[in-house]
């Protein structure tokens, strides 16, 4: 049961983006299309899951006073790995995501989970927590990406659905990101109120 | 000179770091509920960003490039910035206590402000010279301050306005930001940039 909770927590009740309001920068910046959103989510998930795993492995030997710099080194190692892997295998995606890939290192979700969860819990629970949080992040990012691409470019995953000339281009421009996430949060507020 | 002015205004208005580039949004929504807090944050950002972009430029071009260690830049930059913020905090506390009090808790918070790190990366991606990257970081931090101070004024007003129930709090803040971002889009192509 508790294992399931570790996994489930990040998806809805503590969704990092829509609930905890962390990790906003990449969410808004790269969600112009579903493909970009999925690429960013995959890169962040990789870093999040493996840094949670490593932090949980080394938590007993890390001195308390210098834990933050050590976490940062662990995280930046994985960020460097994914940065170079994407540059080699998916150069177009790497170019589209640009500076946001190295910026995963300061994504509050990752350091936040290392500090709040992985540092205090065993390896299995921390890995599951990382996977759950990644799924929550992916879900939020993908929802925003699909909405923006559908309304702004008339397509989903690059498959054209209707004439882009009648699409609301503003949705793929920066203001569209703010509008989409604002409406999503309002909807979530309303839904939660109804459930209660 | 014209080139430097171009870099400054492109960073200040056209590619505004908060409203167009979407970097450092956590602090944009986090500290903008009151005017004073956003003033404190923007002074800290201007101060730290200028110094840290100079230091990281030197670290990259005089240490990492000659030794072919460019792949270490993520780790090196974030550690440089984190330790630099600590040094600046100590220095300000001792030498300029009034400024230290004004910046208050915002100095340590800056370490996780992704704008600082982003400027260090972008100045290298754009292949700027030392002077150019200084001007660039001034433009970016100026644009940051402009956007967050204007946003704080607007949020102080919307806090008193009759907002639909589901939109209270963050959702209406996002709508406000959307309108500001729309206004900033108007600067696109200005000065032929």
pLDDT reported for residue A1 = 46
Q: Domain range holding A50?
A: 2-195
Give the side-chain half-sphere CA count within 13 A for B41: 31
Do B14 and B20 contact (CB within 8 A), yes or no? yes
Which chain B residues are within 8 Å of A105, Cβ to Cβ? Answer: 74, 78, 117
Can you list the alpha helix ranges (DSSP code H) found in A106-156? 108-113, 123-153
Kindly list the averaged pLDDT for each block of 10 residues, start to end, along chain A of length 196. 70 74 80 88 93 92 84 91 93 88 85 86 90 90 90 84 81 89 87 78
The structure's pTM equals 0.84
Tell me whether residues A106 and B19 touch, CB distance under 8 A.
Answer: no
Which chain A residues are within 8 Å of B117, Cβ to Cβ? Answer: 102-103, 105-106
Residues of A at the B interface, defined by Cβ within 8 angstroms = 21-22, 24-25, 28-29, 69, 72-73, 76-77, 79-80, 83-84, 98-99, 102-103, 105-108, 111, 170, 173-179, 181-183, 185-187, 189-190, 193
Tell me whether residues B112 and A106 touch, CB distance under 8 A.
Answer: yes
* pLDDT per residue as tens digits for the range B64-111: 888 888 888 888 888 888 888 888 888 888 887 877 777 666 777 776
Do A113 and A59 contact (CB within 8 A), yes or no? no
pLDDT reported for residue B112 = 65
> How far away is chain B from the Cα of A183, in angstroms, using its nearest Cα?
7
pLDDT reported for residue B117 = 87
State how beta strands A155-156 and A159-160 pair: antiparallel
pLDDT reported for residue B135 = 94
Tell me whether residues A28 and B172 touch, CB distance under 8 A.
Answer: no
pLDDT reported for residue B140 = 93
On the 0-12 / 13-18 / 19+ scale of CB atoms within 10 A, B4 is: middle
CB atoms under 10 Å from CB of A86, counted, come to 20
Which chain B residues are within 8 Å of A185, Cβ to Cβ? Answer: 170-171, 174
Search chain B and give the residue with CA nearest A83.
Answer: B71
Best to test chain A binding among B69, B71, B78, B143 (most A CBs inside 10 Å): B78
Q: What is the ipTM of this complex?
A: 0.83
Tell me whether residues B179 and A175 touch, CB distance under 8 A.
Answer: yes
Rounded Cα–Cα distance for residues A171 and A35 (Å): 16
As for how many domains chain A has, the answer is 1
Tell me whether residues B117 and A108 touch, CB distance under 8 A.
Answer: no
In a structure prediction context, what are the per-residue pLDDT tens digits for chain B, which is 193 residues long?
A: 788 888 888 888 888 888 888 888 878 887 888 888 888 888 888 888 999 899 999 999 998 888 888 888 888 888 888 888 888 888 888 887 877 777 666 777 776 678 888 899 889 888 899 999 999 999 999 999 999 999 999 999 988 889 888 888 888 999 999 999 999 888 887 765 5
3-class DSSP assignment, residue B191: helix
Which chain B residues are within 8 Å of A40, Cβ to Cβ? Answer: none
Do B139 and B9 contact (CB within 8 A), yes or no? yes
């Amino acid at each position: 049961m508790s294992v399931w909770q570790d996994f489930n927590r990040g998806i809805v009740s503590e969704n990092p983006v829509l609930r905890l309001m962390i990790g906003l920068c990449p969410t808004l910046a790269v969600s112009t299309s579903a493909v970009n959103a999925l690429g960013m989510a995959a890169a962040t998930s990789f870093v999040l899951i493996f840094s949670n795993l490593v932090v949980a492995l080394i938590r007993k030997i890390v001195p308390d006073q210098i834990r933050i710099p050590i976490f940062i080194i662990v995280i930046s190692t994985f960020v460097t790995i994914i940065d170079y892997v994407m540059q080699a295998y998916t150069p177009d995606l790497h170019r589209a995501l640009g500076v946001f890939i190295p910026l995963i290192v300061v994504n509050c979700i990752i350091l936040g989970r290392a500090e709040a969860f992985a540092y205090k819990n065993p390896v299995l629970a921390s890995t599951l927590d990382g996977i759950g949080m990644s799924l929550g992040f992916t879900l939020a990012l993908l929802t925003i990406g699909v909405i923006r691409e559908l309304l702004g470019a008339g397509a989903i995953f690059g498959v054209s659905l209707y004439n882009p000339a009648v699409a609301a281009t503003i949705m793929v421009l920066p203001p569209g990101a703010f509008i989409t996430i604002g409406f999503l949060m309002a909807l979530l507020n309303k839904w939660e109120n109804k459930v209660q | 000179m014209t080139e430097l002015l171009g870099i400054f205004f492109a960073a200040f208005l056209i590619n505004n770091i908060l409203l167009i580039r979407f970097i450092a949004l956590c602090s944009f929504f986090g500290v903008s509920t009151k005017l004073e807090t956003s003033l404190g944050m923007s002074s800290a950002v201007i101060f730290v960003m200028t110094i840290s972009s100079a230091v990281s430029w030197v670290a990259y071009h005089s240490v990492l490039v000659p030794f072919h260690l460019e792949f270490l830049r993520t780790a090196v930059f974030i550690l440089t910035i984190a330790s630099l913020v600590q040094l600046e905090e100590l220095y300000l506390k001792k030498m300029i206590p009034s400024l230290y009090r004004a910046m208050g808790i915002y100095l340590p918070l800056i370490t996780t402000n992704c704008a600082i790190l982003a400027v260090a990366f972008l100045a290298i991606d754009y292949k700027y010279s030392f002077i150019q990257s200084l001007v660039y970081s001034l433009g970016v931090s100026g644009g940051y301050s402009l956007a967050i101070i204007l946003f704080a004024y607007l949020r102080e007003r919307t806090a008193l306005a009759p907002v639909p129930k589901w939109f209270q709090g963050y959702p209406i803040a996002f709508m406000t930001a959307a309108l500001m971002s729309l206004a900033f889009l108007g600067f696109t192509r200005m000065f032929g940039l």
